[in-house]
Amino acid sequence: MKGFKILTAIVLCMLSASGITAQTDSIKPGLIKAFGNRLDTKALTKYDPLYIEVPERPWRIILRGKMDENKIDLNTTNTWLFDDNQYNMDFTMNFDSEINKAAGIWVGYRGLGAAYFFNPGKKPGVNFAVSGTGAKFGINFRIRDMQIEQLHLKATVTYGDSTRVEEGDFNFWTPINVWSFFLNGYYVFNGKRYSQGAAYNQVVIQRKSAGSFLLGVTAYASEIRLNTSSRNAGVIHAMADSLGSISLGKISVGLGYGYNWVPARGWTVNAMVMSNISVSDKIIRTEYDCNYDFLGIETEQTVEDYGTWDSENRRWQNGKTHKPMYFKEEAQDWWNDVDMWQVQEESSFTRWAFNIDFRMGVAYCWKRYFVSINGIFEHFKYGRENNKVDILDWYATASLGIRL
């Protein structure tokens, strides 16, 4: 409901800008109305009327259905010694969220707009977006918070000349929380004849085909929070640095090209691709430790009596800090003794990673109404030593709107 309250506040501001709300103050409403008039004037004077039509009705109310997915691949390598032998493990975790289906409403005044989406199935998650579009620029902002309950694991263990590969689906006992933040701004070189928003939020109507080079700046942040329940300790401990969470931040600049094709009156088909180079990548890793060594031993007979675990001093009764643990499906009692705690948080910086932003949309308008279908695909890569992250983020929407 917090996102809906924010959307309501933005709509009230836009209502004030258009002069619809009651005037209780002689100065502030006047300033807000002047701001709305300025938006109208700029919209009418910044475009070439032979290519772009500015609708007389400034308001747009759009009902939208949305599908989205966030695919995260976390690859980590780890090395350890056992019985004087070196073991190398390449560990890949594929976080594949279910395709999320949501319904929402978009409210816009000229180039300004905001949207709020909710999940009809009442699944946890929030999706909120704001955008601003002008003849020469565009800004898009969105936040998403969701949960993933299943991941696919693949472990490749090498020791000497032998290689062992194991993979399968792993159910976390409690969900993995994934949060993402996206802020994108772009400059349109041929803004008088080309509108990036014509096929996506119907700010204006493209009447003749045109294209333009685009210069963009993108800020992206994401946090993957593995639940540190004792049930997940084995997976967390097997990863390099025993990661409990990883936070990613990226700032990138890019050059792209967009084109609006108008095959017939009322129709607009858009395609845009932008290649981005990151100028700053920040990775924050939260490392955990536990009272078991899950990788040290495989047979119960070789484990001595460690006694009980002292969680305050973090030592076993025999004075040792880590107890070797064998893996047997029929032996599950030891889970009750697993204790995990945060060890440290470490930050690092990289740069010059290559990312892709691709968008495509189709819109049709008649009289006061319009329909559209569009999709956005984004690919982000992060890397640091033995931890690498690959993120595919996409969504598609179908819209039905009216101008007021």
* Domain map (residue ranges) of the chain: 2-291+338-403
pTM over 0.85: no
State the pLDDT at residue 211.
Answer: 96
- Dihedral of CA atoms 156, 158, 163, 169 in degrees, nearest 10, equals -20
State the pLDDT at residue 274.
Answer: 93
State the pLDDT at residue 189.
Answer: 95
Q: Which residue type, as a one-letter code, is found at position 173?
A: W
Residues 6+ apart with CB under 8 A from 79: 86, 87, 88, 89
For the chain, 404 residues long, give each residue's pLDDT as a single digit of tens: 554 444 454 444 544 444 443 344 444 555 555 555 555 555 556 789 999 999 989 899 999 998 887 777 777 776 665 556 666 667 677 776 667 788 889 998 888 888 888 777 656 566 778 888 888 888 888 887 777 766 676 767 666 666 666 666 655 555 777 788 888 899 999 999 999 889 988 889 999 999 999 999 998 888 877 766 656 665 666 554 566 677 888 889 999 999 999 999 999 999 999 998 888 888 787 777 778 776 544 445 556 778 888 888 888 888 888 887 655 544 555 666 677 777 777 777 666 777 888 999 999 999 999 999 999 888 777 666 666 777 888 889 999 999 99
SS3 content of the chain, % helix, strand, coil (to 5): 15, 60, 25
Q: How far is Cα 239 from Cα 295, in angstroms, rounded to an integer?
A: 11
Using an 8 Å Cβ cutoff, are 287 and 387 in contact? no
Using an 8 Å Cβ cutoff, are 261 and 268 in contact? yes
Look up residue 84 and give its DSSP letter: T
Residues 6+ apart with CB under 8 A from 315: 309, 321
